[in-house]
């Protein structure tokens, strides 16, 4: 462990080009996919939580099922869609960061929507009743609902961010872990482990944890400010 820690520090200080690219690719993929999933999953979660029609139960169960989607299944589906014989081959998304982002968004959106839905479901009746009593429009009520969920929105984002950092199954299938192109921290760790370079793999793991810690701390700080 000590050796791995020393190597992690040495790797960071060495300015290794390959590590820089892996880090940059990871951050690009993680931030793009988590933000996109937030943009899609946030309103979806609010709408689902605020909806009280008879299909609510079915929609919630459907979303919860999607929350448990195995990443390799998403990876496989994306691979089949993007590959040379797939219907989306003309988009040339296979073995690209954009393709990896799409796979991640598929995984993260239900997660963010689901985590927001349970919060909104609990506050929506009171918000709706109060807003209706004041004669506010539906649009205004929805905006209020969104505003009242900003703290949970950030919590949901944190959840998505963590999942995006840890994901390996889908991104390795869609990205192919190509050096200098689509190799991210998790796939690099897998590659080094397969090559028997356990210390380097562990060092990368420590760096991944560090980066995740810094990002999460930043969001948590914002979280704390919103709470005040």
Partner 1 sequence: MKLPALSKTYAGRKVLDLPELTLTDGAVHAVIGANGCGKSTFARILAGVIPADAGKLPPLGAGYMPQRSYPFHMKVLRSLRLTGAGREAARAQLEAFGLIHLEKQSAGRLSGGETARLALARLLLRDYPLLILDEPTAAMDVTATLLAEERILEYRSRTGCTVVLVTHSLTQARRMADEVLFLREGRLEERGSAREVLSHPRSPETRAFLDFYTL
108: CB partners within 8 A, 6+ apart? 33, 34, 37, 41, 160, 163, 164
* Binding-residue pattern over the window 103 to 142 for partner 1, x denoting contact by CB under 8 A: --------------------x--xxxxx-xxxxx------
Is residue 92 helix, strand or coil?
A: coil
Question: Tokens representing 64?
Answer: 């919860």
* Spatial distance between the Cα atoms of 66 and 58, rounded to a whole number of angstroms: 12
Find the shortest distance in angstroms from Cβ 126 to partner 1.
4
Indicate the residue among 155 and 186 with the shorter CB distance to partner 1.
155
* Binding-residue pattern over the window 148 to 187 for partner 1, x denoting contact by CB under 8 A: x---------------------------------------
Find the shortest distance in angstroms from Cβ 127 to partner 1.
5
Find the shortest distance in angstroms from Cβ 116 to partner 1.
16
Indicate the residue among 128 and 163 with the shorter CB distance to partner 1.
128
Question: Tokens representing 36?
Answer: 């996109």
Indicate the residue among 14 and 122 with the shorter CB distance to partner 1.
122
Please name which of 25, 71, 1 lies closest in space to residue 188, comparing C-alpha atoms: 25
222 binds partner 1 (CB under 8 A): no
Q: Cβ(73)–Cβ(107) under 8 Å? A: no
Indicate the residue among 57 and 133 with the shorter CB distance to partner 1.
133
Q: Report which DSSP code applies to 86.
A: S
- Please give the torsion angle defined by the CA atoms of residues 135, 139, 142 and 146, in that order, rounded to the nearest 10 degrees: -120
**How many CB atoms within 10 Å of residue 137?**
9
**How many CB atoms within 10 Å of residue 98?**
16
Among 87, 147, 218, 224, binds partner 1 (CB under 8 A): 147
56 binds partner 1 (CB under 8 A): no
- Total chain residues near partner 1 (CB under 8 A): 14
Q: How far apart are the first and last CA of the chain?
A: 40
Binding site for partner 1 (CB under 8 A): 123, 126-130, 132-136, 144, 147-148
């Amino acid at each position: 462990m000590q050796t791995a820690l020393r190597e992690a520090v040495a790797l960071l200080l060495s300015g290794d080009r390959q590590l820089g690219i892996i880090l940059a690719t990871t951050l690009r993929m993680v931030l793009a996919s988590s933000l996109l999933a937030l943009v899609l999953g946030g309103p979806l979660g609010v709408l689902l939580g605020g909806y009280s029609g008879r299909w609510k139960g079915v929609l919630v169960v459907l979303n919860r099922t999607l929350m448990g989607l195995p990443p390799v299944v998403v990876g496989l589906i994306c691979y089949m869609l993007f590959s040379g014989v797939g219907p989306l081959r003309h988009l040339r998304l296979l073995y690209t960061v954009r393709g990896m982002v799409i796979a991640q968004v598929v995984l993260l959106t239900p997660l963010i929507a689901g985590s927001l839905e349970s919060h909104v479901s609990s506050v929506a009746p009171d918000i709706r009743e109060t807003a209706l009593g004041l004669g506010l429009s539906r649009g205004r009520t929805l905006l209020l609902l969104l505003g009242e969920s900003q703290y949970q929105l950030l919590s949901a984002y944190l959840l998505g961010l963590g999942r995006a950092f840890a994901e390996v199954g889908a991104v390795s299938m869609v990205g192919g872990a190509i050096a200098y192109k689509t190799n991210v921290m998790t796939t690099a760790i897998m590659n080094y482990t397969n090559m028997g370079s356990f210390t380097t793999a562990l060092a990368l793991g420590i760096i991944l944890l560090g980066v995740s810690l810094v990002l999460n701390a930043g969001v948590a700080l914002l979280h704390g400010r919103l709470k005040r």
